[in-house]
């Protein structure tokens, strides 16, 4: 039993999803989520039809274009080169699964952009706004934390997936690593975490990722995508197995929303090499307080 996001089981929710970031974590997440969503609909129906189990608006947001270096751990190939990633993924997966998804080739670098993306979620019946963060920089996470705690939306679900980069030594190629450095590198890059934040009627019930891992909010050396801040910030390479593990956990969180309309797990830490995950479930005292609070809606 978790936190029910709808006050009545019989109500048909209107999921308003904004996914920001479609790289290593994001491309795998999007592909799987499209498949998950399609299982709730007949192939002959559209996601917004009256006979569907829920309504859906889906916005895919990122200004990155496909490069050759993306082929290793992202779901792109030669046919996608120089195309916006959001367009390539929409054309390949949303159209395959017969879902209507809007691609937005834009970086999110200010609160106003987030407000614009969620403007249509401020009105309508049974709207469940969901912010999906598949980014690789803390500057964007800091912005999302500010948006989550702002008054713009009373209700918001905010899911963030992050992975550890492979160990690197500045100005040193892997072939020149010492034996100790090689051992460290071999064990690195497999860990990560997925966190879901949740607020209802302006009250925060599950803290988002920046309040659990506070180094995110104090990181002063981060930068938005395509933004220069003195020296270039080089992200450590990521392992495809770790990206897929993070994406699958986030997919499972979304599937709980679709299937039972509830949030069961607050956060999950994992290690792809060990094939292990450590979930932190929604505490029973929070469940009890929230259930009492829901009666006042």
Res. 31: pLDDT tops 90: yes
Nearest to 137 by CA among 34, 227, 59: 227
In the prediction, which pLDDT does 230 show? Answer: 42
The DSSP letter of residue 169 is B
Q: What percent of the chain is predicted at pLDDT more than 90?
A: 61
In the prediction, which pLDDT does 233 show? Answer: 52
In the prediction, which pLDDT does 7 show? Answer: 62
Spatial distance between the Cα atoms of 100 and 52, rounded to a whole number of angstroms? 14
Confidence of residue 8 (pLDDT cuts 50, 70, 90): low
Residues in the chain: 297
Question: How does pLDDT run across 238-247, given as a tens digit for each residue?
Answer: 888 999 999 9
Rounded average pLDDT over 199-228:
90
Pick one of 3.90.550.10, 3.30.70.100, 3.40.50.720, 3.30.420.40 as the CATH number of 8-294. Answer: 3.40.50.720
Question: How does pLDDT run across 77-132, given as a tens digit for each residue?
Answer: 788 888 999 999 999 999 999 999 999 999 999 999 999 999 999 887 789 999 99
Question: How does pLDDT run across 281-293, given as a tens digit for each residue?
Answer: 999 999 999 989 9
- β-strand partners of 278: 269
Strand 276-281 relative to strand 265-271, pairing = antiparallel
Element (H, E) at 187: helix 179-187
One DSSP character per residue, 209-245 reads HHHHSTHHHH--S---TT---SS--PPPP--HHHHHH
Question: How does pLDDT run across 136-153, given as a tens digit for each residue?
Answer: 899 999 999 999 999 999
In the prediction, which pLDDT does 220 show? Answer: 86
Phi, psi of 44 (to 5 degrees): -90, 0
Averaged confidence pLDDT in the chain: 88
Spatial distance between the Cα atoms of 132 and 164, rounded to a whole number of angstroms? 18
Structure tokens at 1: 């039993």
Report yes or no: 92 and 76 within 8 Å, Cβ to Cβ: no
In the prediction, which pLDDT does 43 show? Answer: 45
Point out the least confidently predicted range of 7-21, 139-153, 187-201: 7-21
* Dihedral sign for Cα atoms in the order 171, 174, 176, 179: positive
């Amino acid at each position: 039993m978790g936190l029910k996001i709808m006050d009545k089981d019989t109500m048909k929710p209107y999921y308003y999803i904004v996914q920001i970031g479609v790289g290593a974590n994001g491309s795998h997440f999007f592909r799987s989520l499209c498949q998950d969503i399609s299982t709730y609909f007949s192939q002959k129906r559209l996601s917004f039809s009256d006979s569907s189990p829920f309504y859906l608006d889906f916005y895919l947001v990122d200004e990155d274009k496909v490069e050759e270096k993306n082929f290793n751990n992202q779901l792109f190939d030669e046919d996608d080169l120089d195309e916006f990633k959001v367009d390539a993924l929409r054309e390949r997966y949303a159209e395959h699964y017969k879902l209507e998804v809007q691609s937005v080739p834009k970086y999110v670098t200010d609160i106003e952009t987030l407000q614009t993306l969620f403007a249509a979620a401020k009105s309508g019946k049974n709207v469940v706004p969901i912010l999906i963060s598949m980014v690789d920089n803390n500057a964007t996470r800091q912005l999302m934390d500010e948006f989550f705690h702002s008054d713009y939306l009373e209700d918001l679900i905010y899911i963030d997936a992050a992975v550890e980069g492979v160990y690197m030594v500045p100005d040193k190629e892997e072939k020149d690593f010492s034996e100790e450095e090689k051992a460290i590198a071999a064990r690195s890059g497999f860990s990560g975490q997925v966190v879901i934040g949740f607020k209802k009627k302006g009250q925060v019930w599950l803290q988002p990722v920046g309040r659990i891992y506070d180094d995110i909010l104090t990181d002063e050396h981060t930068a938005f995508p395509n933004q220069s801040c003195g020296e270039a910030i080089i992200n450590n390479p990521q392992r495809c197995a770790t990206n897929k593990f993070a994406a699958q956990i986030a997919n499972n969180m979304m599937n709980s929303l679709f299937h039972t309309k509830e949030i069961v797990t607050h956060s999950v830490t994992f290690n792809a090499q060990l094939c292990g995950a450590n979930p932190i479930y929604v505490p029973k005292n929070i469940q009890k307080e929230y259930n009492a609070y829901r009666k006042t809606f």
